[in-house]
Structure 1
């Protein structure tokens, strides 16, 4: 039995503590039906050694009272409170705990472990304090390191699939209701069958389209899964190179575009995949080009399409008012039946298309008229490794979202944060730390390229 024996608190979401693992221990469970020689066999020792190579003190986190494996919106719209859904792509000990959970028919003796990144800090604007939380949840499906896991598998699961959630809420005394907002974005390997040969002599191995999928079935499955998880629209921001002396990334760029065109032929106009290609490497080398400013425009466009989640909650993280939203909780099964709602209210009564920040009804103590808003759809960003360039784009999206989130909370008068604002620098620290962590997990080293922002000229560059 593998037990977590020590923990440390790394944050809290409206009173629900989140912990990191600081120590674990493997304890043998003797059983008379197991031959003692088999228990000490070479295979048994090998399996124990393999299990011990997983360092739970690095980047695993959990909560006893909050479903940290799910987004805030999904938790708030859960119509079965108290049920911990282990059957999710973000619970890394789902398989190891399956036996005891199925036998006991409960989760009292187990805790769901999420692998990725968690950081929380208290910030302030004009004397008003708020909590900023950045969470990255890495999928356990098709998991593995760079070069060993690329692209998509036949089930539509991609390598380096990470959900990033940015949560902002008022820092108020315990027991008081508060406003809370969140925005979710996604990164993942290009959903085609492709690979690279590893070589110490070649720093940029050739990219090989390893399998011909004429109807792009695996690619289609991947995007259908994203729709089940987040709804429509799916906005794809593809950051890889367009033109090269020796075609590498551009091979994938063309095939990816072909796949999207093929899939979109079978979709209604409102449900078609939104494919945005933007060669980040090319633009970052162009003199006079402010890459973050341009990416900010893309982010604003995506935010207008998807919106973000906002509601007012009690101290126990329950909405002050009932909310209605399609249930996307069961990621693996993906039941999209329209009658699965949190409550029986009309969804359209609370939706705010195109203007999700809404009027500032909470200023000056007016807390009674602002309805919740919801995120529908997601921005999916990729480069080749879904690390350095992707992290820059995700920061730009997070910065645009933060302005809208603070505006919705009544902390800022406008939904825009300038690049030279101290808040932009604070947020950059979050995303750089997350980028390094995800790079270590997938690539084995810290992010190679850092975002360098000169506050005097608003210029970003890759060193």
Structure 2
């Protein structure tokens, strides 16, 4: 029987160690983490002398910062609903347990801790004690259910894999005093998923069912909108998400409850199913950034500078990416939604060039035109499926041009184009095996391909198309189950239709917020089926908020991603990592701008005495208007000096652009002579951590 994570853990603290025990499993070994070394060991029986601190929901992991190690424990978890009888929880609150008593505060250490705490607080993380939420159902049906839960987890979506590495390493090889494998630590390793999860018990045409939507965000190349684009050398693309829409018939409504619930597995036939076998149907889609080397460089202008940094050099990386995608999902239906004109045209052409290089014998499917668009569709298919890369099927659809003027019904053109491929790909269907105590599924049908959708951000346009594909799949599933008659759609059930729209709009907002900082655009169409003026105004507000966040707050947010996921390893020798080393004069210009606005405001609206001279006041106002105008022009003309860049892993284009901007400032007629040639250690200190940032946990 599989070893499952403990539902209830007590923490005992002393000056020499932290001890973790499960009161519901008194015979289990105690996990001990020594202070201040951080050494992990197992103890038979409870340790005496420790003071019980609290009860926790689980151990998120351990992380080493500049001066100390910290154990991150989950102190509060919210039940989100049951899926096939298993309760799913959301991480609500965590606590950091330091291994050392630190009498003095270190500025860098405090910033590291603040970054991690804000990241965990804002990131939607989910877990289950008895159900693997990191794997889609089709994959779960093929796994060895006797393995511990953490070993079955999909490495891409095992979000706390890095911070669990101390426990995992101890599990695999032990320590100097406890050599060999240590299976006793398995119940303390809790895999956590980052993304979106919503479970609803509902009915459609009097048929009860459970509708769930799970979006799993990959931990590889994770980050924020403008600081994480394209592909890396290992084949990981930015903003990769797997979205699984799940329908469960005859689901269990009873089963395991809170942290102190029973430890046994229960399958979908237990409780509330009336003796009928539980049926699970799922449909999977993916999204991910265009797999070439490209970037968008923030300059404080609304539209960043686009850089295509290489297509042919990225062929090896793209080949690795699609080889993994084909292995995991089957044939890849690549739906590209970027514009075919303007600045996005270069991204479209780079993607198509990459597909041509990957597909052995591309047969251009031709370009279809109509009166609305110069290029509506563009497809590429191989002549004959002779190799792995020939399982790529590229379809281009100019989403913006086709739907302009609120003509959203024209997205049906894309669905018509994909009809045959969608019909062929199918969906997953499984039922509970009658005698399976572990809840193993008997596979009746499998999904043989996946639609990989992208736009520039893989957010707004992608969300709309994915919800439409999910609608098609759900109608097909309900028809095959006999819940709907042939030719009927679930739009005939108004309540279910509204529920479906709400879930997909919620998914769009969650995915968008974690990447861009705001909810998604165009969700009025997802929620109501119509594009409205109110929705357009909401999109305008979100766009303005995105501009502010992407330029001024996403740098620290990217640092928090890199820190939690192990893309940056703090070094005890690195000090003042977060210090601002720009010349003081450059730092002061925004403050001078603020003062000038204040003085103009005061001079304009202050009451004057009747006999006061007017001319000096006018000169005063004109002077500060000119000063403010110059400051604003300087800031916008040298925007790269004022973007809040990531400091832990400086981006190459940021480093290049920064030095170019500093060089231009030195030539400025007004302040160039006052900018020091050696900018407060910039050349030596600011980017020494760039090399540290390249460190990865292999």
* TM-score, normalisation: structure 2: 0.54
1:317-396, aligned counterparts within 5 Å?
318-319=439-440, 321=442, 323=443, 372-396=444-468
Shift of 1:413: 2.2
1:244-323, aligned counterparts within 5 Å?
247-265=342-360, 269-270=384-385, 271-285=390-404, 290-298=409-417, 300-313=419-432, 318-319=439-440, 321=442, 323=443
Shift of 1:45: 4.2
Asked if the contact 1:241–1:280 (Cα under 8 Å) also holds between the matched residues in 2, the reply is: yes
Give distance in 2, aligned partners of 1:184 and 1:397.
10
Higher relative contact order at CA 8 Å, sep ≥6: structure 1 or structure 2? 1
Residue 237 of structure 1, aligned match among 317, 335, 338: 335
1:53-104 deviations in Å (ceiling 9; x for gaps): 3224641100111110110111122134333335601111101111112213
Residue 169 of structure 2, aligned match among 80, 93, 102: 102
Q: Tell me what 1:161 maps to.
A: 240
Shift of 1:391: 0.1
Asked if the contact 2:311–2:350 (Cα under 8 Å) also holds between the matched residues in 1, the reply is: no
Q: Tell me what 2:296 maps to.
A: 196
More helix per residue: 1 or 2? Answer: 2
Q: In 2 relative to 1, CA 317–280 (structure 1 residues): closer, same or farther, beyond 3 Å?
A: farther
Q: What is the DSSP-based 3-state SS (H/G/I as helix, E as strand, rest coil) of the residue aligned with 2:501? A: helix
Shift of 1:195: 0.7
Give distance in 2, aligned partners of 1:373 and 1:401.
14
Report whether the alignment pairs 1:205 with 2:277.
no
Residue 442 of structure 1, aligned match among 510, 515, 520: 515
Q: What is the DSSP-based 3-state SS (H/G/I as helix, E as strand, rest coil) of the residue aligned with 1:24? A: strand
Asked if the contact 1:7–1:21 (Cα under 8 Å) also holds between the matched residues in 2, the reply is: yes
1:97-156 deviations in Å (ceiling 9; x for gaps): 111122134431121111000011122222111111000000110011001011111111
Give distance in 2, aligned partners of 1:385 and 1:273.
21
Asked if the contact 1:17–1:63 (Cα under 8 Å) also holds between the matched residues in 2, the reply is: yes
Asked if the contact 2:285–2:452 (Cα under 8 Å) also holds between the matched residues in 1, the reply is: yes
Q: Tell me what 1:69 maps to.
A: 134
Q: In 2 relative to 1, CA 421–199 (structure 1 residues): closer, same or farther, beyond 3 Å?
A: farther
Q: Tell me what 1:226 maps to.
A: 325
Q: What is the DSSP-based 3-state SS (H/G/I as helix, E as strand, rest coil) of the residue aligned with 1:27? A: strand
**Greater shift after overlay, 171-180 or 400-409?**
171-180
Residue 141 of structure 1, aligned match among 204, 220, 223: 220
Q: What is the DSSP-based 3-state SS (H/G/I as helix, E as strand, rest coil) of the residue aligned with 2:445? A: coil
Shift of 1:292: 4.2
Give distance in 2, aligned partners of 1:302 and 1:460.
28
**Greater shift after overlay, 209-218 or 8-17?**
209-218
Q: In 2 relative to 1, CA 418–180 (structure 1 residues): closer, same or farther, beyond 3 Å?
A: closer
Q: Tell me what 1:115 maps to.
A: 194
Dislocated runs of 4+, deviation >6 Å = 36-40
Q: Tell me what 1:333 maps to.
A: none
Asked if the contact 1:399–1:424 (Cα under 8 Å) also holds between the matched residues in 2, the reply is: no
**Greater shift after overlay, 158-167 or 51-60?**
51-60
Report whether the alignment pairs 1:404 with 2:469.
no
Q: In 2 relative to 1, CA 42–197 (structure 1 residues): closer, same or farther, beyond 3 Å?
A: closer
Give distance in 1, aligned partners of 2:410 and 2:501.
14
1:34-66 deviations in Å (ceiling 9; x for gaps): xx6799655544443333232246411001111
Q: In 2 relative to 1, CA 169–187 (structure 1 residues): closer, same or farther, beyond 3 Å?
A: same
Q: Tell me what 2:280 maps to.
A: 180
**Greater shift after overlay, 251-260 or 213-222?**
213-222
Give distance in 2, aligned partners of 1:401 and 1:72.
16
Report whether the alignment pairs 1:431 with 2:529.
no
Shift of 1:316: 5.7
* TM-score, normalisation: structure 1: 0.80
Give distance in 1, aligned partners of 2:216 and 2:296.
25
Asked if the contact 1:15–1:316 (Cα under 8 Å) also holds between the matched residues in 2, the reply is: no
Give distance in 1, aligned partners of 2:104 and 2:140.
42
Q: What is the DSSP-based 3-state SS (H/G/I as helix, E as strand, rest coil) of the residue aligned with 1:219? A: helix
Shift of 1:294: 2.9
1:13-92, aligned counterparts within 5 Å?
13-30=83-100, 44-56=109-121, 58-83=123-148, 84-85=150-151, 86=153, 88-92=155-159
Give distance in 2, aligned partners of 1:285 and 1:152.
30
Q: In 2 relative to 1, CA 119–415 (structure 1 residues): closer, same or farther, beyond 3 Å?
A: farther
Q: In 2 relative to 1, CA 416–392 (structure 1 residues): closer, same or farther, beyond 3 Å?
A: farther
Q: Tell me what 1:11 maps to.
A: 81
Q: Which has more radius of gyration?
A: 2
Q: What is the DSSP-based 3-state SS (H/G/I as helix, E as strand, rest coil) of the residue aligned with 1:429? A: helix
Q: In 2 relative to 1, CA 75–56 (structure 1 residues): closer, same or farther, beyond 3 Å?
A: farther
Q: What is the DSSP-based 3-state SS (H/G/I as helix, E as strand, rest coil) of the residue aligned with 2:94? A: strand
